[in-house]
Amino acid sequence: NAGVTQTPKFQVLKTGQSMTLQCAQDMNHNSMYWYRQDPGMGLRLIYYSASEGTTDKGEVPNGYNVSRLNKREFSLRLESAAPSQTSVYFCASSLTRQNTEAFFGQGTRLTVV
């Protein structure tokens, strides 16, 4: 089972460039999430999607956009990358109910120079 798959694993961008991080899950989960992981800051929620067709802002949404393309896929877009967006990005998915386990992708290490 693939679980949650993120692409790419590594990326270097120049300031001002744009890119899209892709995430797909094959567990028929309703909820999907994008987090960024920074030293000392833990995992901070950028956006989440409770179901196909809905998205909501998390704790740190500025500078990002998301698309829930279908039930399987949830993409994160940086329209104009900034050095402050250098981070490790994680996608996760879960069933939309309480006491449910979230499954994580392997992460994307993004560096903006």
The contact set with another protein (CB under 8 A) reads: 30-31, 33, 35, 40-45, 48, 50, 56, 58-59, 90, 92, 94-102, 104-107
Listed residue (63, 86, 66) closest to 76, CA to CA: 66
Q: How far is the CB of 33 from another protein (least distance, A)?
A: 6
**Cα angle: 58, vertex 61, 65; to 5 degrees:** 115
Q: How far is the CB of 5 from another protein (least distance, A)?
A: 11
**Nearer residue to another protein within complex by CB, 15 or 96:** 96
Q: How far is the CB of 8 from another protein (least distance, A)?
A: 16
Q: How far is the CB of 72 from another protein (least distance, A)?
A: 17
Listed residue (21, 30, 28) closest to 3, CA to CA: 28
Tokens of 10: 């590594």
**Nearer residue to another protein within complex by CB, 14 or 97:** 97
Could you list the beta-strand ranges (E) of the chain.
4-7, 10-13, 19-25, 31-38, 42-49, 56-57, 65-68, 74-78, 87-94, 103-104, 108-112
**Nearer residue to another protein within complex by CB, 63 or 107:** 107
Q: Looking up tokens 């490790």, which residue turns up?
A: 88
**Nearer residue to another protein within complex by CB, 9 or 15:** 9
